[in-house]
Amino acid sequence: MRTIVHGDFAYSEKITEISTLKGGYMVVEDGRIQGLVAEKPELEDSDRYLDFEGRLIMPGLADMHLHAPQFPNVGLGTDMELLQWLETYTFPEETKYQEVDYAQLVYKKLINKLWSVGTLYSGVYGTIHEEASTKLYDLFVESGLHSRVGKVNMDRNAPDFYVETTEDSIRDTERFIKANLDKSERVKPIITPRFVPTCTAELMQALGELAAKYDLAVQSHLDENKSEIDWVCSLHPESDSYSHVYEQFKLFGAQPTLMGHCIYCNEDELKLMANTDVMAVHCPFSNANLISGIMPVKRYLELGIKVGLGSDISGGNEVNMAKVIVLSMQLSKMLAVHNANPEDFLSTAEAFYLGTKAGGEFFGKHGSFEEGYEADFLVVDDADYLINDLTVQERLEKFLYVGSEQNIVHRYLSGEVVEKPFDI
């Protein structure tokens, strides 16, 4: 079946500029984009015509790093630094997910929120609990949204009330994978060692093997702050760097890998990242709230490192990736001032690319409107805040800076509308 979508399009092809087409037509066949054209195609009887005249049509947003169980804590404890915050707010909350009913309540609210803000793709951490993580997985499958969902692993340096044995951790993870792997094309398990300090070498070894055995992506945390790096170095004196610990266990680019934060990577680590399939996931809200620092995104891009964006709920307080795109620009500008190189900041085109195409491509042909991409898009009604006539590019900028979830009127994946997932 062919679908023709009419509206004002804004999307990324190249990172250096935003592509736009005012009053254009997207031609979709079997959920895939055949092309964007300026002239209305001749309609056939079997065609479906979606008329979004005057509305802004943009790709879905990709949140490449978020902790589902921390959703109730969003906005709390921001006067604390990372390790104190983990102990006071995060671990006690995550412990609650041994109760699947609680997990279901929170996860439904979270997935509704992701849908609401237009996050069509996500890389998500659950907890150590197999059952609650499968619940999270099932709810994503039910929602129709794309996601990579991980059962978290932690078998050392964790509080007594929130830790696994090595054996349980490995067994539960494989069971989680096998139970879920074939449920949906849109949702897949992802190997999720929380971070080096909470995973023994034996566990990391086994997780690397599971990633290879089931051909799964990997996600974890890297170089978020200096005391964390010192801790990793003291735990692994045999390794040259934090990244090399992951790498020795095949958890660093042997499979597609998402590494959250990456603020203080050294030159060796940067080379390794540029040469392997690792995406550095920038989480500006979290890095600001937890006094971590600013990822030098511009430099990473120049080095050819893949970069995506994450909300890092609840280190970050903002689920809406449009606002994460904005803060990534703002923090890059503060870093530029600090480096006395004020021209060296992330432009709107660059930050938008990171939040749409760069993230979306982790899931396949998603996040752009080029030929061959899935027909995934958001329909934005921006009439309530427009006063003057603006170009499509200016309207996109305005949506990022002042729009909200209330302005997103439809979300589409592969040419089909995605309805609000849960009625709660």
Q: Is 337 in the site for a copy of itself (CB under 8 A)?
A: yes
Q: Is 304 in the site for a copy of itself (CB under 8 A)?
A: no
Nearest-approach distance from CB 141 to a copy of itself, in angstroms: 23
**Count of positions (residues) in the chain:** 424
Q: Is 424 in the site for a copy of itself (CB under 8 A)?
A: no
Residues 327 and 285 sit within 8 Å (Cβ to Cβ)? yes
Q: Is 289 in the site for a copy of itself (CB under 8 A)?
A: yes
Q: Is 112 in the site for a copy of itself (CB under 8 A)?
A: no
Q: What is the separation, in whole angstroms, between the first and last Cα of the chain?
A: 34
Q: Is 105 in the site for a copy of itself (CB under 8 A)?
A: yes
The SS3 call for residue 174 is helix
How many other CB atoms are found less than 10 A from the CB of residue 391? Answer: 12
Taking the least distance from each CB to a copy of itself, the nearer of 140 and 345 is 345
Binding flags for a copy of itself, 30-69, as an x/- string (CB under 8 A):
----------------------------------------
Q: Which two tokens stand for residue 156?
A: 């050392």
Amino acid at 123: G
Nearest-approach distance from CB 398 to a copy of itself, in angstroms: 4
Helix (H) or strand (E) holding 417: strand 416-417
Q: Is 294 in the site for a copy of itself (CB under 8 A)?
A: yes
Q: At what angle do helices 201-213 and 166-180 cross, to 10 degrees?
A: 20
Q: Is 345 in the site for a copy of itself (CB under 8 A)?
A: yes
The SS3 call for residue 104 is helix
368: left (phi over 0), alpha (psi -120 to 50) or beta: beta
Site for a copy of itself in 153-212 (CB under 8 A): none
Q: Is 149 in the site for a copy of itself (CB under 8 A)?
A: no
Taking the least distance from each CB to a copy of itself, the nearer of 214 and 401 is 401
Task: Give CA separation, 356 vs 21, 76, 124, 213, in Å.
Answer: 17, 28, 17, 30
Taking the least distance from each CB to a copy of itself, the nearer of 365 and 398 is 398
Q: Is 109 in the site for a copy of itself (CB under 8 A)?
A: yes
Nearest-approach distance from CB 216 to a copy of itself, in angstroms: 30
CA angle, 199 as apex, 197 and 203 as ends, to 5°? 160
DSSP state, 70? G
Q: Kindly list the residues in this chain that would bind a copy of itself in the complex (CB under 8 A).
A: 71-72, 74-76, 78-79, 81, 105-106, 109, 285, 288-289, 291-294, 317-318, 326-327, 329-331, 333-334, 336-338, 342, 345, 347-348, 385, 387-388, 390, 394, 397-398, 400-402, 404, 406
